[in-house]
Amino acid sequence: MSIQFYPLQVRELRRETLDTVSIAFEVPESLRETFRFTQGQYLTLRTTLNGEEVRRAYSICTGVHENDLRVAVKKVEGGLFGTYADEQMRAGDVLDVMPPMGRFFTELNPANAKQYVAFAAGSGITPVMSILKTTLIQEPLSHFTLFYGNRGFDHIVFREQLETLKNQYPERLAVHHVLSSESLGSPLFFGRIDGEKCRAYSRLLFQPTEVDAFFLCGPETMIFDLKSTLESLGVDPKAIHFELFTTAGAKKAPLTSASRRSAKDSFDASITVIQDGMQFDFLLPSDGSTLLDAAMRAGADLPFSCKGGVCCTCKGKILEGEAVMEVCYGLEPDEIAAGYVLTCQAHPKTKRVVVSFDAG
């Protein structure tokens, strides 16, 4: 995996809500293929704020047909990049941008006549908007149902766009807003989206086992509650796709009992990193550092974004030795079985580890 960033100029800043702006990038003709994206993917942005390099991953919020490379950024208390985007960023500014990544999507086919259901909360709507728009265009026989949770109407990101899409596709798109601080006249749509509400919706608004794919995006508590509920309703786990936006409060349960690791298990390890055909060797000290952090301290320039085990930007394949992860939300079971790790969460289990970023 190449770490290459490209300087892209901010073409437009558009205020979506009081605390959310969308950022559109000018993509030169020479980079059009490099930045061609699949619905549901994200961009890793890099800039320097207060003398510190800052990297953040933000989902693309436009359809693949719109010729508009755009992400949405929400300002949160204490958020460095979100505050910068909200208060200081201007059209014409230049950010370093990594090409699109991510697998929060299903393959589309114009011949499909499928049923899709999405649950989103807050800024979790951003990749879902890309998925929803693209699906409605590329699969004219498919139907989409969206349940979207927010505090109130003023916090609904892309509210006008969603209304326009509802009017454009009245037979194929259903949008249900769920508000936690304003009443819509029905207890079914008041409060937060959770497993209990999902069960109620499944009785009234969709048949769980007839849905071809579910898309869940938002806080981890919501996602894991919905995932568990849907599985209990008979949904195939492979039909449930999710994207975490934060990992605060996430359960840091090890992947297997054999992967348990504590400070006393730490030891010095000899590490080799392979990237873009080049080999980089360093010693990882017995201080509990992850492979990524130790490599960065040693001078390696590796791809990363969230450092929370959520995205796959820092994915590498163990070619020699073993490593264990603290948490892992971004990898599929077959990838883990094939030796892939998220290096931001991986610790050496053997005193010699070779990890490749070129393995895909």
What's the chain's length in residues?
A: 360
Identify the residue whose tokens are 């590498």.
316
Predicted confidence band of residue 86 (pLDDT cuts 50, 70, 90)? very high
Please tell me whether residue 308 adopts helix, strand or coil conformation.
Answer: coil
User: Whole-angstrom Cα distance, residue 100 to residue 70?
Assistant: 11
pLDDT, tens digit, 9 for 90 and up, residues 118-172: 999 999 999 999 999 999 999 999 999 999 999 999 999 999 999 999 999 999 9
The pLDDT value recorded for residue 58 is: 93
Does 254 have pLDDT greater than 70? no
Q: Give the torsion sign (CA, 103, 105, 110, 113).
A: positive
**Residue 6 CB contacts under 8 Å (≥ 6 apart), including other chains:** 31, 34, 35, 96, 97, 98, 99
pLDDT, tens digit, 9 for 90 and up, residues 164-193: 999 999 999 999 999 999 888 889 999 999
User: Whole-angstrom Cα distance, residue 114 to residue 163?
Assistant: 22
Paired strand residues for 117? 145, 214
CB 116 within 8 A of CB 49: no
pLDDT, tens digit, 9 for 90 and up, residues 73-83: 998 887 889 99
The pLDDT value recorded for residue 2 is: 52
| Chain centroid, CA 44 distance in Å | 10
| Chain centroid, CA 25 distance in Å | 19
Predicted confidence band of residue 304 (pLDDT cuts 50, 70, 90)? confident
Backbone phi, then psi, for 346, in 5-degree steps? Answer: -95, 140
CB 225 within 8 A of CB 128: no
Identify the residue whose tokens are 């894991």.
224
pLDDT, tens digit, 9 for 90 and up, residues 210-241: 999 999 999 889 999 999 999 999 999 999 99
Please tell me whether residue 102 adopts helix, strand or coil conformation.
Answer: coil
Tokens of 223: 């996602």
The pLDDT value recorded for residue 257 is: 37
Predicted confidence band of residue 313 (pLDDT cuts 50, 70, 90)? confident
Paired strand residues for 354? 272, 320
Entry pTM: 0.83
CB 61 within 8 A of CB 130: yes
Alpha helices in 27-94 (DSSP H): 80-87
Average pLDDT over residues 38-56: 92
The pLDDT value recorded for residue 265 is: 55
Domains and CATH numbers, the chain: 6-101 (2.40.30.10), 115-244 (3.40.50.80), 257-356 (3.10.20.30)
The pLDDT value recorded for residue 185 is: 81
The pLDDT value recorded for residue 312 is: 83
Q: Which of 233, 195, 236, 239 is nearest to 214 (CA)?
A: 239
Q: Give the torsion sign (CA, 340, 346, 349, 351).
A: positive
Helix (H) / strand (E) element for 127: namely helix 125-138
The pLDDT value recorded for residue 149 is: 96
